Structure 1
Amino acid sequence: MRLLYFDTSGTLKSKVFSSEIPDYAILSHTWDPNGHDVEFTYKDLMKNTSRDKAGFKKIMFCGQQAAHDNLDYFWVDTCCINQWNLSERSKEINSMFRYCQRAVKCYALLSDVTDPSATDPNVEPNTWKTSFRKSRWFRRGWTLQELIAPASVEFFSLNHQLLGNKADLEQVIHEVTKIPVDALRGRPLKEFSVDERIAWASNRETTEEEDSAYCLLGIVEVRMTLIYREGKAEALRRLRLQIESTESTPFIVPFSRNSQFTGRESELTTLQKTLFVEGQTTRIAITGIGGIGKTQLALEMAYRMRQAYKDCSVLWVPATDIESVQQGYAQLAQRLQIPGWDDEKLDVKKLVKIYLSRESVGRWLLIFDKVSDDSIWTTRAAGADRLIDDLPASKKGCIVFTTRNEKTAKTLAQENVVKMPEIDAGIAWMMLNKYLSNRDLTNEQQEANLLLKELTYFPLAIVLASVYISINNLTIKDYWMLLRLQDKKTVEFISQELKDKWQAHDGKHPLVAPWLISFEQIRKQNELAAEYLSFMACIDHRDIPLSLLPRGQSFEAEKDAVKMLSDYSMIIRRPAESALDIHQLVNLATLNWLRKENSLSQWSKISIIQLNNKFPDHNHWNRSKWRRILPHATCVLNVGLINEDNSNKLSLIWKYAASLYADGEWKRSGELFAQIKDTSLRVLGEEHPSTLTSMANLAST
């Protein structure tokens, strides 16, 4: 925390405290409409200039008032936060409510309120109350937490006259703000509903539209990444998701509910009847071909269970490979605040198992999505239990798996397997109609039937086709003609790997032609969006942080590119984590297209460089960050198209190995350090510093 103080010569100074923070006061005020041109900012503080700015008078007032109250230090947002450093800005805004709570005094300076009676004895006392009620201070978003959080708030007029404190003026403040008096007196915020707390800010304004959500972070007691230019609606939506995920009954699901979900009622009924059988932990597996909608079925079930059982914790773990399961368990342990979650010596899988196996935890539903095969669950690694042995067991718990592999489904859930058949023409028609926003298809019925038949009633293909038709305002016949015009050889080439693992018809996969139509349109309209899809094809298709994407020409360009991919259903947003997913079929189609264009090597290099630049230090405080990037590093390093002596690849392997070592995976990290040593010896020689470092790292494993 950065605090201000005046030294013995009267010069304004600052000092950063990481612990043992001294007593301090804070200034609550409204920014001048001209912003940085008038306010005394962090840059002015660092340069020790601009004392003639009007905003510096506020700094002087706060410092002098703090000294009057025997406080050496004080905090003012204009110059204690580096507004140009987005990382610091986000961190400080998430901490502001706590700063206000810890303050010994809060001075609210109302620049539009004067007290004539202070200088003119002929003026009636308390004439300032009319302008006090109308003050802009009560209409600004950020002043809400500065009113609620501090124990002591003192109000001052423009000419620095004390008007009263929060306790003296609580009735007036209540009438102006509609905030309950108990809240002003410090009643715990948890005793007020979330909707009520959000309503306190309903008539308040902010300069940046997203701040309408961000100014509520402390009020609703959550933390959230700040993404300016995402828009007010998106910021408020993310805020709601974050609130939901941190309420007393956890709902840790990375995706929003699919409003277009259609059909599958029989499968949902079967699932709901099987869940929560008294006296045992229920395990159920959902199985079916790729792209049939297993994840969407599990997602809909998760939201329905949440509605049906308000006391049920709903938890989600991606399970494509051992790394994703490990990361999923780690995130659960952290989000659930299980004691020991941040201890690198402890196995988070065991922590989660022990925690959920306690009946006192209550009812829970644990979903493992996209289980690839049963080998990672039934194989015993050296010195470790099988993954299947780390599953929690409770009379109040249910575990659901989604998998393409029927053998895996039976291994994990025995006879409790829900098979998802291919959808029929009726459900396909309902899907098409719903994704076309229920437009009248009376005059297009024949064309719609032809289109659905061409797409073999494949759900993901129907989604891609529907959104393309809607965005480009086409008739169904127009789109059907586009499908027929796609190059047969290109479609068959891209279908190669897809048809090996998923359903295919006549040498082509039903998803490929719709994907190709959408991708070519994206390439024409937004080159950056196409580049993002190419980049993401080289890394893991799940939980891709937006911060991992290559930079565009501007933030607006980056935002537009992601929006286009979302509009065309090429990606699925994870609003709460500021991340996205790509369906594995879309990912493979893009990968095969890059192979066809002889561009895979180029994009593999770009991906390695980007990951190497973004990979955080392997210090323990970065654990959650590098754990999140490990699956992406695994994918890009396994492509095998880039020479081992590539400097960026060597650097990425070293960071990857160091992180694995810090996470207790010494065997795997030792293998990687040995690989780096061998490459360094061959390329650089045994006396080169990099070779010596590699040998030292290997010796420590």
Structure 2
Amino acid sequence: MSGVEKFVGREEELENLHQLLQNNDRVAIAAIAGMGGVGKTELALQYAIQRRETYNGGLCWLLPKTGDVGIQVVQFARTQLDLKPPEDFDLLAQVQYCWRRWRDGDVLLVLDDVSNYEEVKPYLQSLPSRFKVLMTTRQKLGRIAQLSLDVLQPETALELLKFLLKETPGRIEKELALANQLCEWLGYLPLGVELVGRYLARKQDLSLAEMLRRLKNKRLDERSLSKSKSEADMTAQRGVLAAFELSWQELEDSDKELGCLLSLFAAAPIPWKLVEQCLPEEDAEDLEEIRDDRLLNLHFLQRKGEGIYQLHPLLREFFQYKCTGLEQAEELKRSLCRVMVAVAQDIPYSSTLEQITAVSPAIPHIAEVANHLIQYVNDNDLTGAFIGNARFYEGQGFYNQALPWYNQCLEVTKERLGEEHPFVAESLNNLALLYYSQGRYSEAEPLYIQDLALTRKLLGEEHLDVATSLNNLALLYYSQGRYSEAEPLYIQALALTRQLGEEHLDFAQSLNNLAVLYDSQGRYSEAEPLHIQALALRRKLLGEEHPHVASSLNNLAGLYRSQGRDSEAEPLYIQALALRRKLLPEDHPDVALTLNNLATLYRDQGKYNEAEHFCIQALELRRRLLGEEHPFFALSLNNLAKIYHLQGRYTEAEPLYLQALEIFEQQLGVNHPWTVKCRENLANLCDRLPPPQ
């Protein structure tokens, strides 16, 4: 009996298997179930080797795929046990004769690779209780006790790879990160790790980086995944592709179609409702039957949670390999794209935590469409997948993760639709808005100007998209302290959105923007009614619990602060903070904004402990989310310095003022109101510092 030289990572499974076989009054039939390549035969073999003393009546290894099990039993009994069952008995009677006269002691029967249990079941019916039957199978066998064998744990897969390369010590350690990536690409499948490890052992000059590159390039056709004739000591008789092919042959056409569709999704858990949406013509119960009775039963598919399923990475590669020859492949790709683009288009710009959580499982699959299937998306939906991914990250304040999606959107749109297209203008606007959020104002401005000019040219002066472009460019000018340039743009935008009617969210946005500008200019009597109107409109259209309502509460509170009406401002700030913490992730720039505002309120009231507490929270959030070159980070530095300043903690305040001033001057210029105020604060502080010794 052979077997691998060192059996890695299955100690617990071996013990569980032994208990499973022993804990039965009469006959224990345990099925080691799992997809091809997971190590079912090797586990059975190692169990037989390690427990040989338990089964003093011997081991009988049977191969149902190679012929009738009854004939194999009789042949074994004649050659190994010197039994002579009467030839005038039928086959079943001969087998029962052999069972009755078998060598004394406990016996282990191994049936390796059972595909049809009903064919072997008659021979097992009259077994004496001293016989234990162990089957390996790719299927679930009803009520039979079952040990489901999964892939290796990451650390165990790495241990196996190290062992296979033991002749070249240090090879794994030298490229440890790549070794882990290699195991991950193989999905921690024992057969895949063993084949690749043996291949690398034969090719000592082949780097792990090159091996990984070849696998990604040639995928299942890579020769390292095929069994070499020189590997006579391997338990597995096939390469990865051949192992999977056996199960593929057991599938019906409808099973194959569903498997191929699943392979088009990303290598991530798949919500089943998305699968059903991709096949609207199919009956949901029929799909459920294929999933449960075929793909799950044959271990092509794994259930990851309620309504969530996933293909093993190499099985995904296998189904994609098969998909190339499937007649319905093109339509399946188009259908998946339609569904994922529709999901992406429903992701709002200002997402709540609930919305983020709900859409999170779909994000990898939207990304898969954008990255690998965009040619199957029609022109009218071209930007949807890119924008959806970007909004998902942008809505959480993860601007760096959103940026590549907006850049990619602009490139793909220009390439397919040309330089002058509304989608190009939209892409310019989205990219500019992200730069604005990152505090990269000088990069945002030319994009906004391009977007506005292109939108006017393509859609006309009266189009609502022109109002959006005007609003965004005005917001940039406002943030740069260029109030006189911002105001006429805001007024134009307000006039355009008013045409939609005075109960429209875009109109509420224009009211809010103009109000914030007037507030900053000290035009409080003009700002207040606009703030109040925007808040009322947002509450009416969106309800009390929405991020836009929180923004209006925060902005109205800011107006009251500017007027010294602190008793009216404080409850609004507290409401805004509670709403934002409830609706948004805790780590969100808007949460930091309200924390900062509350800190300045408490500072001016002389509540320095509360002010410092909120200001430090805002500072750390902004450091983490926006980086240390963002004007908002500098603003929090300035505010914390002012708190220390007012408490006489001058030596703590000075370095913060200096750091804030450097950022303001670099990002906003020397004449920006924030720069000027910070410079004044620093000058006042310097008057109070003790002279140098």
Normalising by structure 2, we get a TM-score of: 0.36
| Structure (1/2) with the larger strand percentage | 1
TM-score (norm. length: structure 1): 0.36
Asked which structure has the greater CA Rg, the reply is: 2
Larger helix proportion of the pair: 2
